[in-house]
Chains A and B, each alone.
Chain A
Amino acid sequence: MAKATRDAYGEIIQVLAAENPKIVVLDADLAGSTKAAQVKKVAPERFFDMGIAEADMIGVSAGLAASGYTAFASSFAMFCTGRVWEQIRNSVAYPGLNVKVVGSHSGITVGEDGVTHQAIEDMAIMRDITGLAVYVPCDAAETKAVIRHVANTSGPCYVRLGRSKVEDVYSEDDDLDVTKIRILKSGTKIAVFACGLMVQSSLEAAKLLKKEGIDVTVVDVCAIKPCDEEGIVNILKDHDTIFTVEEHSVTGGLGSMICEVAAEYCPRRIYRIGMYGFAGSGSWDVLLKEYKLDGQGVYEQIKERLQG
């Protein structure tokens, strides 16, 4: 089945808000798109639309959190991270408040809206903020596990979600520990670390590579920060060549994180697959193809570099 991670957010936030009267949900005039508005079905009094005023949304979330509430604040990833980086740093992360920033429509797959709406730097800028956890789930089940995890964990975080429908990697019955990496396919010599919908692309690429006798390991890295250092190092130790795949700039996100861990504990040749510049308008599937981030594209990029 295919479902967008933002849809999964809309479903789980209703469940959590119904369970916990101290959960509040805020949005900045995109509640229908981010699916935050779904919470109105169960707790209309705990949903606040702050209008097109993201800075205020983050500050109001901080105030609610300083009063004992757990505040989920959502918008498109571009606007709830980039526009409000300093509000998140100073009003949320520094005081360590329970604000969960949920950015939907991340990466290039927001699609036709084009570059102004395509957050390809959000992981980088959020990852550098002290005390702020960063999660990038790949499908509906993992999204629900992440949202449940952050709702039950004290402190601030950023959760990166997407607009487009993505194939299920997990079942909602799976007991997912979102703080650990997960090996989805075991191979030899070559390992592919992926996050978000690049997990599906990497699994597809792995199938194509297998046909040619190249057996790669595929790892889902949902916890970008704090990362599962031990798990990552174990993968690095067992493989010679590493690929990272992310729907994000190749600087500052998953690729950089894996490089940092490798440089410190287990140096390896690492190739970073992701965005090397701004994209542009286009439907999400056309864009993934254009920037070689669909299954076929990731397969081609891996092959190219292996032959290089």
Chain B
Amino acid sequence: MDVEALRRHANNIRINIIKETAAAKSGHPGGSLSATDIMTVLYFEIMDFTAENAGSLDRDRFVLSKGHASPALYAVLAEKGVIDEEELLTFRGLHTRLQGHPDMNALDGVDMTTGSLGQGLSAAVGMSLANKLDGNSHRIYCMVGDGEAEEGQIWEAAMAAAHYNCDNLCAVIDENGLQIDGPTAEVIGPAPFEDKFRAFGWNVISIDGHDYEAIYNAFMAAKECKGKPTCIVAKTVKGKGVSFMENQVNWHGVAPNAEQRDQALKELEGN
């Protein structure tokens, strides 16, 4: 694992998240930035995903259940060479392949259409079952928001994944602690995720979601776990990497204006 390379990729991805949302004048920078390091490790160290096999099912796949973090997914696809960086600036525009929330038919490399919260983990379970039927060794990864885990369907899917021994499935909870109406603990209190997933029959690993080594080790440990699915509970910082966005609930679904964009880029480009 080349930590320096990962840091560089993650920084580029963060720069592009800022550029995308600023260009679109809308979107969700906070939850995109919190998920960035995890997605960077996944796409650059864990998954067998390349620009060449982006359109194929014959590889590991990733479901962004928290579909509003689409700027992060598109920035990752640009960093992997699936799309040009210029196209990122079409995000949320008319006829763009970079829909507000991911559209699997618009763009190779988007493995599931998501956006309505709570639904992606079920789709990931379906993909996991399909891989088992097909007898292949590809793995399914699924990123779930902590606020998103307030949806009942997440727990229906959690029950099914354990029941069907979906050990080729690895979910990640991006636990940034904030949702639109405020801190998750104040809104409805979905935590603790570790106890809940363990009680649902999952292998659970708790990590700092910005520590590359910890993220990498967790994914590797998940691969080794047989007979049950793994849930990585990643403690993250919403808005991570941009000082004035960090841990600010207001940056959930608001795009930076030109001045804020420049300030954010100055910080990131100085890294």
Seen from chain A, the residues whose Cβ lies within 8 Å of a Cβ on chain B are: 24, 45-46, 48, 50-51, 53, 55-56, 58-69, 71, 86-87, 90-91, 94-96
Interface size on B, residues (CB 8 A): 34
Chain A: interface secondary structure?
helix
Partner of B123, one of A24, A45, A68, A91: A91
Q: What CA separation (Å) do A58 and B125 show in the bound complex?
A: 11
Instruction: Give the contacting residue for B125; candidates A59, A68, A69, A87; CB below 8 A.
Output: A59
Q: Are A55 and B122 in contact (CB under 8 A)?
A: yes
Residues of B within 8 A of A65 (CB): 126
A-B pairs with the 3 shortest C-beta distances?
A63-B126, A59-B122, A67-B130
In the complex, chain B residues whose CB is within 8 Å of the CB of A56:
122, 125, 153, 156-157, 159-160
From B127, B128, B131, B156, name the one whose CB has the most chain A CB atoms within 10 angstroms.
B156
Interface of B is mostly: helix
Q: Which of A24, A91, A94 contacts B122 (CB 8 A)?
A: A91
Q: Report the minimal beta-carbon distance from A151 to chain B, rounded to whole angstroms.
A: 17
With A64-B127, A64-B130 already in contact, the answer to whether A55 and B156 are too (CB < 8 A) is yes
- State which of B18-26, B82-90, B105-113, B180-188 sits at the interface with chain A: B105-113
Would B133 and A59 count as touching, CB distance under 8 A?
A: no
- B98 nearest CB across to chain A (Å): 16
Cα(A96)–Cα(B136), bound, Å: 25
Once A59-B126, A60-B129, A67-B126 are accepted as A-B contacts, the answer to whether A90 and B159 lie under 8 Å apart by CB is no
Contact A95-B126, Cβ < 8 Å, known A24-B133, A56-B156: no
Chain A residues near B133 (CB, 8 Å)? 24, 45-46, 69
Chain B residues within 8 Å of A95, by CB: 103-105, 112-113
> Measured between alpha carbons, how far is A8 from B46 in the docked complex, in Å?
47
Proximity bits, B134-163, A CB within 8 Å = 1, else 0: 100000000000000000110011011001
Query: Chain B's nearest CB lies how many Å from the CB of A85?
Result: 11
Nearest B residue (CB) for A65? B126
For A59, give the chain B residue with the smallest CB separation: B122
User: In the complex, what distance in Å separates the CA atom of A65 from the CA atom of B127?
Assistant: 8
The answer to whether A63 and B112 have CB atoms under 8 Å apart is yes
Residues of A within 8 A of B13 (CB): none
Contact (Cβ within 8 A) A63 B159:
no
A66 partner residues in chain B, CB cutoff 8 A: 104, 111-112, 123, 126-127
**Given A56-B153, A59-B126, A96-B105: A50 and B160 interface contact (C-beta under 8 Å):** yes
Output the nearest chain A residue to B163 by Cβ-Cβ distance.
A51
C-alpha gap A51/B63 in the complex (Å): 23
A156 → chain B closest CB, angstroms: 12
Q: Kindly state the separation between the CA atoms of A279 and B207 in the bound complex, as whole angstroms.
A: 54
Task: Report chain A residues within 8 Å CB of B244.
Answer: none
A96 to chain B, nearest CB (A): 7
Tell me how far the C-beta of A150 lies from the nearest C-beta in chain B, rounded to whole angstroms.
19
In contact, B131 and A60 (Cβ under 8 angstroms): no
Bound-complex Cα distance A95 to B126 (A): 15
* Bound Cα distance from A91 to B122, whole angstroms: 10
Complex: chain A residue closest to B153, CB-CB: A55
Give chain A residues whose Cβ lies under 8 Å from the Cβ of B120. Answer: 59
Closest beta carbon of chain B to A158's beta carbon, Å: 18
CB distance from B112 to the nearest CB of A (A): 6
| Shortest CB distance B214–A (Å) | 28
B164 touches A48 (CB 8 A): yes
CA distance A71 to B159 in the complex (A): 20
